[in-house]
């Protein structure tokens, strides 16, 4: 192994997503089997001991690609030289708690982390925000990192996309391998819009293949959009292994590119495409090329899709206004 290790920082490393994520990163699933990684684990002070326990287990795996582990409660140390930052640490939503309640609790975490990324990250840093409310937390961090190109800050909607793939596959009796271009627009929240109208199943339009508008409106969209809450209801804790899996998918594709003819979903800084307010971090259909996400352009948006995309972006604009009024951006 001659390559210089890539510095990967994971915040909330002692949490449940961290416990799924770290072993997959260290085993090479994030960046590939020829890329050594150095892990930097950021936790709050009371959770440092638990993070140390996870690091002991990582050591005990003897991963050939893992070149070292640093553990800290200081964002300035955690983000020093970081190439890939996975911002997972946040307060998860618990049963009965609305996402809006999370804004104030979590906003304070992402401002200092954005500042630390701005001051200490490597030039090629890429940031994925997983901690909820992911889109707005990503916006807060991005706004406090003025020296980092804005397109390096992203929010995760890949889990929603993966959920949509399986719901559609089950409905049509196909496998997820038969589906392409099924993407999420908007916020990682119950207002998100999983879009069957641009998706393909074995080369055919997915909405036409389903041919059941009532199922699309009353089952497919709500099932995908409320899946996070359904998991919390069932497990008594928010999704963890599937969230870690989606984070791996997101960064892997960002770095390695998307296959020809495939789109994926990512929350990226809006350039105003599709009438989305510029500057919001909102999910679009994107392709990854040369290490960058590009928003897929030129799609026709019918009235059904338009109403849903606009509603989700209106929610994001409200979240932005709320954090602005709290002085967080």
Ligand X SMILES: NC(=O)c1ccc[n+]([C@@H]2O[C@H](COP(=O)([O-])OP(=O)(O)OC[C@H]3O[C@@H](n4cnc5c(N)ncnc54)[C@H](O)[C@@H]3O)[C@@H](O)[C@H]2O)c1
User: Which residues are the active-site residues?
Assistant: 188
Handedness of CA 44, 45, 46, 51 (dihedral sign): positive
Q: Does residue 17 touch ligand X according to CB under 6 A? A: yes
- At residue 281, φ and ψ (nearest 5 deg) are -95, 105
The first and second tokens of residue 233, run together, are 């209801």
Burial of 128 (0-12, 13-18, 19+ CB in 10 A): buried
State how far the Cα of 291 lies from the Cα of 255, in Å rounded to an integer: 5
Q: Are 33 and 62 in contact (CB under 8 A)?
A: no
Cβ distance to ligand LMR smaller for residue 72 or 154: 154
Binding mask 87-126 for ligand LMR (x = CB under 6 A): -----xx---------------------------------
Per-position x/- string for 128-167, each x denoting binding to ligand X as judged by CB under 6 A, each - no binding: --xxx-x---------------------x--x--------
Q: Does 16 bind ligand X (CB under 6 A)?
A: yes
Q: Which are the contacts of 133, defined by CB distance < 8 A and separation ≥ 6? A: 99, 102, 103, 106, 187, 188, 189, 319
The interface partner of residue 285, options being ligand X, ligand LMR, none and the CB cut-off 5 to 8 Å by kind, is none
Find the part of the chain contacting ligand X (CB under 6 A) among 42-50, 144-152, 306-314, 319-327: 42-50
Contacting range for ligand X; rule: CB under 6 A; set: 14-22, 215-223, 257-265, 315-323: 14-22
Angle, nearest 10°, between helix axes 158-172 and 227-235? 90
Which of the residues 222 through 241 are near ligand LMR (CB under 6 A)? Answer: 228, 231, 238-239
Binding site for ligand LMR (CB under 6 A): 92-93, 132, 159, 228, 231, 238-239
């Amino acid at each position: 192994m001659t390559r210089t290790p890539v510095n990967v920082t994971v915040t909330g490393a002692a949490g449940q997503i961290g416990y799924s994520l770290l072993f997959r990163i260290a085993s090479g699933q994030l960046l590939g089997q020829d890329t050594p990684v150095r892990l930097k684990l950021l936790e709050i002070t009371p959770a440092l001991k638990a993070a140390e326990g996870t690091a002991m287990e990582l050591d005990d795996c003897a991963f050939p690609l893992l070149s070292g582990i640093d553990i800290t409660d200081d964002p300035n140390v955690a983000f020093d030289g970081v190439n890939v930052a996975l911002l997972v640490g946040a307060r998860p939503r618990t049963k009965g708690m609305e996402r809006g309640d999370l804004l104030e609790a979590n906003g304070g975490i992402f401002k200092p982390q954005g500042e630390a990324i701005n001051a200490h990250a490597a030039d090629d840093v890429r940031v994925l925000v997983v901690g909820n409310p992911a889109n707005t937390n990503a916006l807060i961090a991005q706004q406090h990192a003025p020296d980092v190109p804005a397109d390096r800050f992203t929010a995760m909607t890949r889990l929603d996309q993966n959920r949509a793939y399986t719901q559609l596959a089950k409905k049509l009796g196909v496998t997820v391998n038969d589906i392409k271009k099924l993407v999420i627009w908007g916020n990682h929240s119950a207002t998100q819009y999983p879009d069957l109208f641009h998706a393909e199943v074995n080369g055919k339009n997915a909405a036409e293949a389903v041919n059941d508008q009532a199922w699309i409106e009353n089952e497919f969209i709500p099932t995908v959009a409320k899946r996070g809450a359904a998991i919390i209801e069932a497990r008594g804790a928010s999704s963890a292994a599937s969230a870690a899996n989606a984070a791996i998918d997101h960064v892997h594709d960002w770095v390695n590119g998307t296959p020809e003819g495939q789109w994926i979903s990512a929350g990226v800084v809006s350039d105003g495409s599709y009438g989305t307010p510029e500057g919001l971090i909102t999910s679009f259909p994107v392709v990854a090329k040369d290490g960058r996400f590009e928003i897929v352009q030129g799609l026709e948006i019918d009235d059904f899709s338009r109403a849903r995309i606009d509603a989700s972006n209106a929610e994001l604009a409200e979240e932005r206004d709320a954090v602005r009024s709290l002085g967080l951006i």
